[in-house]
Amino acid sequence: MQTIDDVQMTTPPMTWREDQRVAWPMKKLGHAQLGAREGAMLYYLARDWASGARPMVELGSFLGGSASLTGAGLKDNPLWDGKAKLHCFDIFEAKFGNMAEFIRSRVDPDFQEGQNFQYLFDAQTAEVADAIEVHRGDLMEASWGGGEIDLLFVDIAKTPDLNRITLTRFLPALSVGTGLLVNQDFHNPDNPWIHTSLGFLSGYFELVEPRADDSILLRLVRPIPPEALREAGRFEDLPDDEAMNRVNRLMSLLRQNDADTRYVELVRARLQIKAGNAAAGRATVDAALARYGEGDPKTDFFWKRRCDSVQALA
Ligand SMILES: C[S@@+](CC[C@H](N)C(=O)[O-])C[C@H]1O[C@@H](n2cnc3c(N)ncnc32)[C@H](O)[C@@H]1O
């Protein structure tokens, strides 16, 4: 087994591409906003790539789907020292997006808007509780003081402000050379600030896994100066052409790697609409639909819906 400290290795073994069985129980339970492929990726990264001696950080834990798999991988890592933890940050209150409805439809029909759901996280992660440390609270108030980390899993950058917190308070802790960043909202046009940020920072990363469900996996290959992290977080005041340049840089990186760019094309459409060019935005979505069709429901269940929601903005 190769590990993070094996200098010969620059990328992790991509076991998740062939074998996602480890994530099936999580998928079957249905208490997760996570696909089997990205779930399996988290397990294998924690088992086969993480040092087992440095912490890992998860931003956005919800009911514990991703944490249960990352924690299991850490516990199965033969180098795990029993002390390094997966640190899970979440407010654990159903007050954002469709969380309360998700819980009502899958777990508890009486679940209330705003209610605490940490008991559900605790239940799903019970078997790996000794590998997890929970940080409950608003991420806007959170920070990290636990030293260098092996993995930063981001499933919380749902606003430009939250994205800036991940960039300025957590990303600086990622180990240079071996540290891995997973952003779970990448193949989704709803959060274009993620793409302008990663486009700006693309020269600091190597693309490891272009797409596992909605996630992208990047390896940090050089230190990022604090001013670059601050600049990367700009979104609301970013000039339209600079926003598009950043996303185009990302697009080039993906294309060089023959990666799926369909959702990044929708991000480009959103930026065109934001810049006041609704006709160009609609044309970009139409072109993407013509190229990719309606999408395979197995791999791209949300594709057509996401196209429609971008068209609706125009
Ligand atoms: C998409 S869910 C995470 C899904 C999870 N990774 C899984 O495997 O199912 C996003 C999470 O971010 C949390 N969140 C959103 N905004 C937050 C904030 N400001 N502070 C703390 N947590 C927040 C929500 O409570 C929610 O649990």
Decide if 75 contacts 131 (C-beta within 8 A): yes
Q: Which of 91, 93, 165, 183 to mutate to test the pocket of ligand 1 (most atoms within 8 A of CB)?
A: 91
Q: How far apart are CA 198 and CA 183, in angstroms?
A: 10
Same domain membership, residue 104 and residue 26: yes
Q: How far apart are CA 57 and CA 87, in angstroms?
A: 5
Same domain membership, residue 296 and residue 223: no
pLDDT at 294: 86
Q: How far apart are CA 248 and CA 128, in angstroms?
A: 41
Phi, then psi, of 293 in degrees rounded to 5 = 70, -160
Q: Is the CB of 23 under 6 A from ligand 1?
A: no
- Ligand 1 closest atom vs CA 59: 12
From atom 15 of ligand 1, which residue's Cα is the shortest distance away? Answer: 156
Q: Is the CB of 140 under 6 A from ligand 1?
A: yes
Q: Is the CB of 52 under 6 A from ligand 1?
A: no
Q: Going residue by residue through the chain, which has 314 residues, state the pLDDT in tens, using 9 for 90 and above.
A: 444 454 446 788 899 999 999 999 999 999 999 999 999 999 999 999 999 999 999 999 999 999 999 999 999 999 999 999 999 999 999 999 999 999 999 999 999 999 999 999 999 999 999 999 999 999 999 999 999 999 999 999 999 999 999 999 999 999 999 999 999 999 999 999 999 999 999 999 999 999 999 999 999 999 999 999 999 999 999 999 999 999 999 999 999 999 999 999 999 999 999 999 999 999 999 999 999 998 888 888 889 999 999 999 98
Distance between terminal CA atoms of the chain? 51
Looking at the domain assignment, is residue 237 inside a domain?
no
Last residue of a domain, one of 232, 249, 284: 232
Q: Is the CB of 91 under 6 A from ligand 1?
A: yes
pLDDT at 177: 95
The total domain count for the chain is 2
Q: Which of 63, 66, 90 to mutate to test the pocket of ligand 1 (most atoms within 8 A of CB)?
A: 90
Same domain membership, residue 295 and residue 154: no
Same domain membership, residue 23 and residue 85: yes
- CATH number at 217 reads 3.40.50.150
Looking at the domain assignment, is residue 274 inside a domain?
yes
- Ligand 1 closest atom vs CA 93: 25
Q: How far apart are CA 260 and CA 263, in angstroms?
A: 8
Looking at the domain assignment, is residue 8 inside a domain?
no
pLDDT at 2: 47
Decide if 57 contacts 148 (C-beta within 8 A): no
String of DSSP letters for 23-76: GHHHHHHT--S--HHHHHHHHHHHHHTS-SSS-EEEE--TTSHHHHHHHHHHHH
pLDDT at 9: 61
Domain residues for the domain of 269 are 261-313
Looking at the domain assignment, is residue 217 inside a domain?
yes
